[in-house]
Chains A and B, each alone.
Chain A
Amino acid sequence: MEELFVLRGETDGSATSGTVALDSDLFQSTVNYLRIPKGLTAKVWFKKIAGEAETLFTLQYTYDVTAASPTWKNIQQEKLASKGEISIEKRRPEILRGFTGKEAIRVIWTQPTAAKAYLELGLELTDEKKP
């Protein structure tokens, strides 16, 4: 089983940091994080970033999103140095596993000056165990 979710999100243009609300054609409403079901693996295949100013997007992962204050660890960072766009495709994807079903990923942003920036994330959920 495998399903590719193309997740989209953006900065709000007024704050210099925050959590990206993730959207998809399959989502009826946005989410601030996405849980990884037990036994499934999340593979991040591509990232596309566009923005009006310098922006740092950080992909984070937690082992227990149900905790009162989940501990998030940084997995990957992509920085847009100035106004423009970048596109990153992976031959070997970033692998994030669902061990208990409480794991989750999210994306946060930081900017020196608040501006609009946009993110697209190619995230596959699969029960395939090979990387």
Chain B
Amino acid sequence: MYVTDEYGLARVNAFLVAYLPASEKALVFRIRARANEGYERLAYGPLPLTSGQTLYTFEGGTATVPADGVIPARSYTSDSLLWKPPASIAASVYDSTDMWYIPTDWNERLFHIKLTLTPKTLRTQLEFPKGTKQVAFQRDKIILSINSDFGFKYGELETIQFPGLHYGWYFANELNAPLYTYAEFTYAENIIEIPKEPQLIFDILTGKYPAHWITLPCRTYEDKIKTALEKTYGFDGYKIYNPARKEEALKDYAETARKVIV
């Protein structure tokens, strides 16, 4: 059974699992429908960099964005960015600073987002939520930034956007040429429900039942995340259990499922 389609997005009636390592819990969603079926491509355009904006350089200095959407040579964003809505929709979207943000009471909606950058040599890294660096090495010994030797992705990134949270996006250009940039999203605006049957949840979370898993970069479990999840879904995820502790897991899932409001 294929759980993703030709875009790599979870199919209708498939299960999508969002795993948060810091809490060792996972949100399980069943895709009831895809609101934008057939219209998954979103040609965003240049990165949301503004002419005159100051970026840091790999050499330890600063660089100025020479024109909107152009990333200077050997530079990276000093602060994480939000996806400013394209002008055509800016006046009508829920949050005019972040096109992917939706409030917690839109809890039947879940964005599954795949970003592709041009050129693919651009680095990207996610802050979840914005303001919290989530990529680390050796527990929290070393926090990895976009200019670190590792802990970033080249040219693409897949995530799930939870309601009530802003995600921050970093970008970097290692090349010694200032680059024109382009971002494209392939996304699904899913209409979802959260399964409440303990046996099904157990089978999904132990890998017996197929599902599309996305692990959020989450080394530290910020209160903001917990609060947003509880406000949105009534709980902050099902615990991941050792398959040998099935009875305990089923009991816990039955109890936890009673809190679910979606």
- Chain A residues in the interface with B (C-beta under 8 A): 1-3, 5, 22, 24-31, 33-35, 37-38, 40, 65, 101, 104, 125, 127
Contacts and interface: CB of A to CB of B under 8 A. Distances in A.
Contacts of A31: 73, 176-177
Given A28-B66, A38-B149, A3 B176 contact: no
B177 A34 contact: yes
30 contacts: A1-B120, A1-B121, A1-B155, A3-B118, A3-B120, A3-B121, A27-B177, A27-B178, A27-B179, A28-B66, A28-B177, A28-B180, A29-B66, A29-B178, A30-B177, A31-B73, A31-B176, A31-B177, A34-B176, A34-B177, A35-B74, A35-B175, A35-B176, A37-B175, A40-B121, A101-B174, A104-B176, A125-B119, A125-B121, A127-B154
A25 to B, nearest CB: 7
Interface of B: 66-67, 70, 73-74, 118-121, 149, 154-156, 174-180
Nearest to A7: B177
B120 A34 contact: no
B82 to A, nearest CB: 23
A1 B119 CA distance: 10
Nearest to A35: B176
Given A1-B154, A127-B154, A26 B119 contact: yes
Contacts of B179: 26-28
A2 B177 contact: no
Contacts of B156: 1
Given A1-B120, A1-B121, A25-B180, A35 B154 contact: no
Nearest to B174: A37
Contacts of A24: 177
Contact of A34 (B67, B154, B175): B175
A30 B73 CA distance: 11
A65 B59 CA distance: 13
Nearest to B72: A28
A27 to B, nearest CB: 5
Find the residue from B74, B149, B175 having the highest chain A CB count within 10 A: B175
A74 B168 CA distance: 44
Find the residue from A22, A24, A27, A34 having the highest chain B CB count within 10 A: A27
Contacts of A29: 66, 177-178
Contact of B174 (A1, A25, A26, A35): A35
A30 B154 CA distance: 23
Contacts of B154: 1, 127
Given A40-B121, A125-B121, A3 B177 contact: no
Contacts of B120: 1-3
A40 to B, nearest CB: 7
A31 to B, nearest CB: 5
B32 to A, nearest CB: 34
Contacts of A3: 118-121, 155
B95 to A, nearest CB: 30
Given A1-B154, A34-B175, A28 B119 contact: no
Nearest to B66: A28
Given A25-B180, A28-B177, A101-B174, 5 more contacts: A3-B118, A3-B121, A24-B177, A27-B180, A28-B70
A51 to B, nearest CB: 24
B200 to A, nearest CB: 37
Contacts of B118: 3, 26
B26 to A, nearest CB: 28
